[in-house]
């Protein structure tokens, strides 16, 4: 009888998710045998590129967790942040910090396993998929709520009082987490299967009807809302600026030396023969605020679309057409979506000087 190969010779350890597949041996060469029906094929050991990618993913996970945690701690410690719209920012930070704490580490473990197989059991698979869909959907809808709040505060600043703003923002937060829970818990009630023990696969339910429901509820519907909101903000800002320029009241010409006009916003009242002339130079405070809000919402929406649209296109198309998308592209699109949780706090704190000052005071007090 021929001696059976040693168990360690059946496969070479390494990060299969990022390593080069070595299953195809050269012509005439000896291929490494497979373990009895397990289908574990040999792979090359760690490469420098694989180690670099895994290190970047680990750093992204840590940075996402720490940055969103810093935002939450700042909102809790500073009393001026205990009001709208900072409650929407806090809800977004909660969803993003949960993505970094509960979802991204297990996804990284899956990337390290052979063939992106799931070896942690059915129960942990269901928990991971549920938290993945819950937190990512909540993060997307929280971004939508921030965009809606910015739009209403600019377009309806007379009716959208502080009390109304608080009531509406709390309602949006409640609806965000309720809808996210419905989408994430639907597969647990029998709408498709997320875990395959034979293939050791753990993924979002591929049932076509659930794919349409989940992708529309988690991405395409909020995408339509944020695009509509940004179009309205941009249109309103252009209308206000254009109207101010058309309706500007020029001062009466006066004799004598003419002083150079200042570029700073100012108001000049001149009384002469019982008449009053009015003059404004530069942009008003509200126009500057509208421009800043439009820029912030535009960047927030742009990053949101770029991060998530590749993943949700594949998630919708793959179950409907039974397309076989390479696993490496699925991982790239998934981690690109996860990176949105890292960019969110960077964007909405970069446009608010109060957060920067609060961060400085927080670190100064710790010293």
Tell me what the mean pLDDT of segment 80-97 comes to.
Answer: 91
The percent of residues above 90 in pLDDT, for the chain, comes to: 38
The DSSP code sequence of 255-306 is SSPPPPPPSS-EEEEEEETTEEEEEEES--HHHHHHHHHHHHHHHHHHHHHH
Tell me what the mean pLDDT of segment 182-193 comes to.
Answer: 88
- Whether residue 42 is predicted with pLDDT greater than 50 in this model: the reply is no
Please give the mean pLDDT across all residues of the chain. 78
| pLDDT tens per residue, range 298-326 | 888 899 999 999 999 999 998 888 778 88
Rounded Cα distance between 147 and 85, Å, is: 11
- Whether residue 16 is predicted with pLDDT greater than 80 in this model: the reply is no
- Whether residue 23 is predicted with pLDDT greater than 60 in this model: the reply is no
Rounded Cα distance between 100 and 103, Å, is: 6
Half-sphere exposure of 261 (CA within 13 A, CB side): 11
Within 10 angstroms of residue 244's Cβ, the number of other Cβ atoms is 13
Give the list of residues 6+ apart from residue 60 with CB closer than 8 angstroms, or none: 104, 335, 338, 339, 342
- Whether residue 14 is predicted with pLDDT greater than 50 in this model: the reply is no
DSSP letter, residue 323: -
| Highest mean pLDDT out of 47-56, 68-77, 258-267 | 68-77
- Whether residue 132 is predicted with pLDDT greater than 60 in this model: the reply is yes
| pLDDT tens per residue, range 94-109 | 999 999 999 999 999 8
Tell me what the mean pLDDT of segment 69-82 comes to.
Answer: 90
Helical H runs in the chain? 48-77, 86-98, 104-112, 122-155, 162-185, 208-215, 221-246, 285-321, 327-338, 340-350, 353-366
């Amino acid at each position: 009888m021929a001696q059976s190969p040693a168990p360690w010779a059946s496969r070479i350890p390494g990060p299969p998710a990022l390593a080069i597949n070595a299953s195809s041996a050269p012509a005439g060469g000896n291929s490494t045998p497979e373990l009895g029906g397990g289908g574990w094929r040999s792979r090359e050991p760690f490469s420098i590129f694989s180690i670099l990618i895994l290190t970047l993913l680990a750093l992204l996970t840590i940075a996402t967790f720490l940055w969103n945690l810093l935002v939450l701690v700042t909102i809790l410690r500073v009393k001026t942040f205990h009001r709208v719209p900072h409650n929407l920012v806090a809800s977004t930070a909660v969803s993003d910090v949960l993505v970094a704490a509960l979802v991204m580490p297990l996804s990284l473990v899956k990337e390290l396993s052979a063939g992106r197989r799931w070896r942690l059991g059915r129960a942990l698979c269901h928990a991971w998929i549920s938290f993945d869909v819950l937190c990512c959907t909540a993060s997307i809808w929280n971004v939508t709520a921030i965009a809606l709040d910015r739009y209403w505060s600019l377009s309806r600043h007379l009716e959208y009082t502080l009390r109304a703003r608080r009531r509406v923002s709390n309602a949006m937060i409640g609806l965000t987490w309720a809808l996210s829970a419905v989408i994430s818990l639907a597969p647990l009630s029998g709408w498709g299967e997320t875990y395959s023990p034979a293939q050791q696969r753990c993924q979002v339910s591929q049932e076509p009807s659930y794919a349409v429901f989940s992708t529309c509820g988690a991405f395409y519907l909020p995408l339509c809302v944020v695009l509509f909101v940004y179009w309205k903000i941009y249109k309103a800002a252009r209308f206000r600026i254009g109207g101010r320029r058309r309706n500007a009241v020029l001062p009466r010409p006066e004799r004598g030396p003419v002083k150079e006009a200042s570029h700073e916003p100012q108001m000049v009242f001149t009384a002469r023969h019982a008449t009053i002339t009015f003059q404004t130079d530069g942009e008003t405070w509200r126009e500057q605020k509208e421009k800043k809000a439009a820029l912030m919402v535009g960047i927030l929406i742009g990053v949101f679309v770029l991060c998530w649209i590749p993943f949700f296109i594949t998630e919708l198309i793959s179950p409907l057409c039974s397309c076989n998308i390479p696993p490496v592209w699925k991982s790239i699109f998934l981690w690109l979506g996860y990176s949105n949780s890292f960019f969110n706090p960077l964007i909405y704190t970069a446009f608010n000087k109060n957060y920067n000052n609060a961060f400085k005071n927080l670190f100064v007090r710790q010293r």
